Amino acid sequence: MGSPQRPPLAHVFRGTFVHSSPSAPMEILHGHLLGVDDSGTIVFLEQTDQQEQLAKKWGFKTSDIRELSNHEFFMPGMVDTHIHAPQYSFTGTRVDLPLLQWLTTYTFPTEVKYKDSDFAEEVYTRVVRRTLKNGTTTACYFATIYTDTSLLLAEIIDKFGQRAFVGKVCMDMNDSVPQYKESTADSVQETERFVKELLEKKYPRVQPVITPRFGPSCTENLLCALGDLAQARDLHVQSHISENEEELKLVESLFPTYQNYTELYDKNKLLTSKTVMAHACYLSEEELKLFSLRGAAISHCPNSNFSLRSGVLNVQKVLKHNVKLGLGTDVAGGYSASMLDAIRKTMMASNSLQINKVNETALTLEEAFQLATLGGSQALGLDDVIGNFEVGKEFDALLINTKASDSPFDLFSADNFEDTLQKFLYLGDDRNISEVYVAGKQVVPFSSSV
């Protein structure tokens, strides 16, 4: 008797696959076959000499194989571990003030507008389209304090097929723009409603995340209540920490009984193995040890850190402390919504630390690639589901065409594959990202239904 008939595969691709593993920042697999089942899971990744055995086992024909050309390859989808969806409306402008002044002058007055669902729908639709087109298959979004439009963001993300965490922002302190804050009780109650209603939607790949904006926007009572909620519901947490020196001094004066910024979150149950904190430029050794102990992650946002002149995170020091780390665009403190830009700015930040003799070496481009893919999945606690092309994970992938029409870089006959790959990482853009897949489903080019 033959084995029971397996369901047909959704995809079989043959060509080059580039990804990271925990031990190798970049692996280039030429001449491989990758199969995806109809639930979007990778079921094999083998050398092409295994084709006959694989075809027998999985029941596919040669005509079912999609053959990549020699200037195409697949890489994992990129993971943006920190992005503010409402700030997308002014991305690429207004990065002329330091953090706290930037928030009160530009950001809070913009976020107030998101009570209006028409305005929210337009910006949120555009930010999801733009990030997907640029290869962000997973994003960890801050929305605003308004529950209904934050739920709308989740709905739009689900419609376009992106994978995401969405946070309704919590803030009960804001003297500078008093119309943009909530009472403590409202903030907690609305967060509970946000979580409940989002989970009831049963979106397959969009989850809620508890989102206190940062220390200076929250009373101790609010932080404590949000920590209790995160613990009770076993939810992810996101916030900001130690972004610039003025913010650090403010936290010290607002919360004098805590030893440091990290302890403020930790004592309120907000520093867990499901936490991702953005920036972290000024954490002490002691704080990094606590991050490592709790299993909390850091989102490195170098574009924003340079643009707002906040600081430079020493990524190598964070990794030496065994703290999980991913990359973030931090739109709109970061002026680009592209994770390729985050890779490039990660290299510049690391180079600047070597120039200034803080570190003896800099990160390699391969390591930055790893942080944008597998590192991001680890930071968000999704590395058992996405991050590379391991069998059993979901197929979140980008099909890269290095000879796309109107490609922003040139290839020469002397270029080998590694040259071509580096050119894409340093010079490529959405014109080279010809297809985007999330959980095996092609989401770019966009279908006519969205």
Q: What is the DSSP string of 299-346?
A: EE-HHHHHHTT-----HHHHHHTT-EEEE---BTTBS---HHHHHHHH
Q: Return left, alpha or beta for 439; rule: phi > 0 is left, psi -120 to 50 is alpha, else beta.
A: left
Closest CA to 221 of 179, 176, 254: 254
CA–CA gap between residue 320 and residue 244 (Å, rounded): 22
CA–CA gap between residue 190 and residue 305 (Å, rounded): 31
pLDDT score recorded for residue 2 = 47
Question: Is the CA virtual torsion 145, 150, 153, 157 positive or negative?
Answer: positive
Mean pLDDT of 393-420: 98
| pLDDT at residue 5 tops 80 | no
**Contact 40/10 with Cβ under 8 angstroms?**
yes
| pLDDT at residue 3 tops 60 | no
**Contact 327/279 with Cβ under 8 angstroms?**
no
Mean pLDDT of 402-421: 98
First to last CA, the chain: 46
**Contact 397/75 with Cβ under 8 angstroms?**
yes
Question: Is the CA virtual torsion 187, 192, 197, 201 positive or negative?
Answer: positive
Question: Quick one: DSSP state of residue 374?
Answer: I
What mean pLDDT, rounded, does the chain reach?
97
pLDDT score recorded for residue 415 = 98
Helix (H, G, I), strand (E, B) or coil at 256: coil
pLDDT score recorded for residue 450 = 75
pLDDT score recorded for residue 1 = 40
Q: How confident is the model at residue 8 (pLDDT cuts 50, 70, 90)?
A: confident
Helix (H, G, I), strand (E, B) or coil at 86: helix
Q: Summarize pLDDT for 139-172 with one digit per residue, the tens.
A: 999 999 999 999 999 999 999 999 999 999 999 9
Q: What's this model's pTM, rounded to 2 decimal places?
A: 0.98
